[in-house]
Structure formats: structure tokens, C-alpha cells
Structure 1
Amino acid sequence: MSSMNPGVNPADETIGTKGLSVRFLVSGENSNGSVAAFELMVPSAQRLPAPAHSHDHYEETIYGIDGVLTWTVNGKPIEVGPGEALCIPRGAVHRFDNNGTRDAKTLCVITPAAIGPDYFRETFGLLNAAAGGPPDKAAMMEIMRRHGLTPAMPPPA
């Protein structure tokens, strides 16, 4: 018998700040590390508070549920709306923004499950600690690197 206890939304926890939130549906602990899936909710007119980044150990597939998110992948903006999907390959620098007037919800699928709820708990903890101000950039980059995300260096001014 496997020690895994299958269930619906085993990591059913909403992690977030001011409308920007993540709700894990499947985590690596529930899939033998093969897949992680979470809903990402982004309020209208909200830019990603973390820097653009890449990850070398997993693909990220985005599926639009409601509203439109603009994903910038290797410098190219790609709008993903309801019923549309985008696979972000390993090593591609990307970020997302909601440039629209309605809140957006997407499903994000990470294969293999190299990232989990802990990354988002730490990141949102940092954002909440900033109390609306800019988050501690060095601390944000340290969290990202520790969880396998490589922050993109901003272009020289």
C-alpha cells in the first residue's frame, strides 16, 4: 500500500495577498513528484511583484480560465485567455501581468513538481511584510533561488 492518501485538492489552501493568490490543487507530495497544479488569481491591472525569472528543472504550462493574463516569454508578450494554453519551456525568462479590466484566473501545471506551496508561502509572507511597499528585493531573490527559480537580471540602464 502506498502511503499517499489521494484526495480532492490535498493542498487546499489559498496563499496570497491583496487579491493576488495561489490555490494548490495537486502538490508533488500527492503525485510522487510528477506534477504540481495550482490556480493563480491575479486582480485586474496588477503587475507581478516579483522579477521575471526562469527555471531550469521544470516546464510550466498555463491554461486560461477567466480574464486574460499577458505572459512575457523571452521578451515576447503572449495573451492567454479562457480556453487557451501556453507551455513555458525550461530556461525561458518569463513574467505575467494582468493588463485587463477584469480579474484573471489561470491553471498552472508544473512538470515535474519541482515547486510547491512552501515557495508561495515564503514569497507572499515577504509581500505581506512589506505592507504595500516594495518587497525586500534581496530576500525575494534568495527565496526564488532556494526554490529553483533564477531571477532575470534587469537590462542595464
Structure 2
Amino acid sequence: MKPSEIINLGNGLEIHFCLDAADTNAQFTLFKCVIHPNAKVPAAHYHDNFDETLYGLKGSLTLSVDDQVVQLGPGDHYFIKRGRVHSFYNNTDETVEILAYANPGVFTSNYFKDILGIISAAGPPDMARLKEVMLQYGLVPVAN
């Protein structure tokens, strides 16, 4: 068993990749998200080529899916079918942890590595490049 690959985005969001597409013959990816209070989280988006299931491990995450807002706590789960616009945030004083399962395994740790490269560059992030990377990995940003 290999250890999780940890990608610290430096903005209150950590991604712990458990199983990447290469580990599962592209059947799924599995990763834990650690979301600190007031973390900068991805813009509202939808997935055009994979579904995502979230499972609460610690704390309470606010999840917005289409016009529905739900709280995801320990032991709770939520299935996000491709095409459904969603976003999430931690508006508590506690760290939140969730497990994310993406199926099929087309969404990989390289997405977060590419995002890290953009947000850690000098100056403000290149928003056009961020959008380009999101689209490359099947995430379609939606203006609020």
C-alpha cells in the first residue's frame, strides 16, 4: 500500500490523494479534502465527464448543488451527478474533512498540481489559465 499523496494548495485546502486513475485502471479516483475555516475553495462548477460522491468524515461542510443547500457532516454522503452545478465552503470555526470519490477515474491529482502551479506563481492568479485548467480536467466553471 502506498501512502497518500498530499497536495497543499496553501489557501486552507489540502488534497490527500488515496487512489489515482493509474491505481484503478481509470475506474475511479479517491481523495480526502481537508478544508480549513475560510478556505479558498473552487468556484461553482459542474463536471462534464464524471460523477462525484462526497462522504463526510469530520466537521460540517456546506454544499450547494443546483438550488439546494445541504450540510454534510460525519457519516453523511451526497452524490453529485455530472452536469449538476455545485460548490462548497466551510463557514465554521473547525476543520472539515471529506472523502471524494470520482467515477470514472478521469479526474486525477494532476489537476490539483496544475492549479497549485498557477496559484503559487508571483502576483494574482491568472484567471484565464485557471479556467483553462479546469476545462482540461472536465470541470466547467459557472459564473455566480
TM-score by length of 1: 0.85
Matches of 1:94 and 1:37, distance apart in 2: 18
- Is the radius of gyration larger for structure 1 or structure 2? 1
Which amino acid counterpart does residue 94 of structure 2 have in structure 1?
R
Q: Are the equivalent residues in 2 in contact too, given 1:130–1:136 (CA < 8 A)?
A: no
Q: 1:93 maps to which residue?
A: 85
Task: Verify the 8 A CA contact 1:47 1:96 in the aligned structure 2.
Answer: no
Uncovered stretches (5+) of structure 2, i.e. residues with no partner: none
Aligned length: 143
User: For 1:15 and 1:23, how far apart are their aligned partners in 2?
Assistant: 6
Identity of aligned residues (%): 31
Once the two structures are superposed, the pairs formed by residues 6-155 of structure 1 within 5 Å of their partners are: 7-9=1-3, 12-16=4-8, 17-48=10-41, 50-129=42-121, 133=124, 135-154=125-144
Asked if structure 2 preserves the Cα contact closer than 8 Å seen for 1:47 and 1:98, the reply is no
Residue identity in the other structure for 2:18: L
Note if contact 2:12-2:37 (Cα within 8 Å) is conserved in structure 1. Answer: no
Q: Which runs of 4+ in 1 moved over 4 A?
A: none
RMSD: 1.5
| Distance of 2:19 and 2:33 partners within structure 1 | 13
TM-fit CA distance, 1:77: 1.3
Structure 1 unaligned spans of 5+: 1-6
Tell me how far 1:75 sits from its aligned partner.
2.8
